[in-house]
A and B are shown apart, each in its own frame.
Chain A
Amino acid sequence: AQSVTQPDIHITVSEGASLELRCNYSYGATPYLFWYVQSPGQGLQLLLKYFSGDTLVQGIKGFEAEFKRSQSSFNLRKPSVHWSDAAEYFCAVGADFGNEKLTFGTGTRLTIIP
């Protein structure tokens, strides 16, 4: 069964600073990897996804993530955070067959300080 680990429950960064959110996955086949962002009480917005090809994927809002198969990681990065980036971030893993469900990590709450 697939699983996702987000080691950091809560991260605080200063506005304008760089950001990296960690995600490690466990999956027996080729994973499809996703990052979602959720503001309090809101829905899940897709930031980016990795299916195949270039291991560095670009997403919306200036986010990017790098797939590293050897480390089973899919870390999310942003060079300079904005106050509006404060939210909960979820990494998720899916598959390319059998209408496989998405499995989410426990999330990382991002706080931005002035």
Chain B
Amino acid sequence: AAGVIQSPRHLIKEKRETATLKCYPIPRHDTVYWYQQGPGQDPQFLISFYEKMQSDKGSIPDRFSAQQFSDYHSELNMSSLELGDSALYFCASSFGGGGYGYTFGSGTRLTVV
């Protein structure tokens, strides 16, 4: 069965650089969620999109932006990277809301040096 695909798997950036993370949801899933998980932390919700429109927003820094495209894939853009942005970034997708379950990707590990 198709899963949620995230790319890249690993990313190393320097401070003040920009990073773009991509997420390809399961086909026919209409909602994408982004989470950030710092070392030893639980996943923190950043932002979600339903049918290409932002549906909810969590603790996402102003330096970050995201969008969902016409093919339902989503990109998380992170600018002016800081050391504290080093984390595992997960994308999840669902259909018709959480009632049908959420499927997580394997994550992108971002290291800022």
Residue of B nearest to A32 (CB): B98
Q: How far is the CA of A44 from the CA of B92 in the complex (A)?
A: 10
Q: A98-B97, A99-B55, A101-B58 are in contact. Are A44 and B42 (CB under 8 A)?
A: no
Taking the nearest CB of chain B, how far is it from the CB of A15, in angstroms?
24
Residue of B nearest to A91 (CB): B42
Tell me whether B107 is interfacial, beta carbon within 8 Å: yes
Main secondary structure of the interface of B (DSSP, over half): strand
In the complex, are the beta carbons of B104 and A43 less than 8 A apart? yes
Q: Which of B52-92 contact A (CB under 8 A)?
A: 55-56, 58, 88, 90, 92
Main secondary structure of the interface of A (DSSP, over half): loop
Q: How far is the CA of A42 from the CA of B37 in the complex (A)?
A: 11
Which residues of B pack against A, CB within 8 Å? 30-31, 33, 41-45, 48, 50, 55-56, 58, 88, 90, 92, 94, 97-99, 101-107, 109
